[in-house]
Amino acid sequence: MRPDPLAKDPFTSVRVTAKYHGIKLEYQEHRHVALNLLNTIKTKLKLWRRPYLSSEGVRLLLQEWHGLYIFLTACLCDRMVRDGLRRYFSKKSAEKSISSSVSQSSLKKK
């Protein structure tokens, strides 16, 4: 009699559901970060639309723009690094699961 595949690994649906919720939370995090950045840019643009009264005012606005540029660049680089690390570690975990399943199947054949 063959064992039921679902009985063999009862936690499969739990893992899939947890993975789905993790992806959904990650998406919502990305969305909120993007909306926050857009709101920051919108606020800055409203400030920069006023007429320039002095060279000091222009210099301060230029410093704000430079600070915003550095902030956006840091956010983008941080996101790229985190995504790269996530891909690296997901590949490692996938390799481990593949190697463990291969070793388990070879043990079953013996």
Q: What is the pTM of this model?
A: 0.48
DSSP class of 87: H
How many Cβ atoms from other residues are within 10 Å of residue 55's Cβ? 8
The answer, yes or no, to whether residue 81 has pLDDT greater than 80, is: no
- Based on the fold, state whether residues 36 and 72 are members of the same structural domain: no
Identify whether residues 84 and 63 lie together within a single domain: yes
Look up residue 80 and give its two tokens.
Answer: 């790229």
44 shares its domain with 72: no
What is the rounded CA–CA span in Å between residue 43 and residue 37?
A: 10
Residue 78: inside a domain: yes
Number of structural domains, the chain?
2
Which of 50, 65, 81 is where one domain is finished?
Answer: 50
Helix 12-48 to helix 55-109 angle (10° resolution) is: 170
Residues spanned by the domain of 66: 55-110
Q: How far apart are CA 30 and CA 51, in angstroms?
A: 35
pLDDT tens for each residue of 11-37: 677 777 888 888 888 888 888 888 888
- The residue with greater pLDDT, 90 or 46, is 46
Q: Are residues 16 and 46 located together in one domain of the fold?
A: yes
Residue 37 lies in a domain: yes
Q: Is residue 1 part of a domain?
A: no
Query: Is residue 46 located within the same domain as residue 71?
Result: no
Whether residue 74 is contained in a domain is answered as yes
Nearest to 22 by CA among 32, 30, 10, 11: 30
Query: Distance (Å, rounded) from C-alpha 32 to C-alpha 11?
Result: 31
**Together in a domain, 61 and 102:** yes
Amino acid at 70: I
Q: 3-state DSSP call for residue 80?
A: helix
Residue 2 within a domain:
no
Longest dimension (CA), the chain: 87
Higher local confidence (pLDDT), 1 or 23: 23
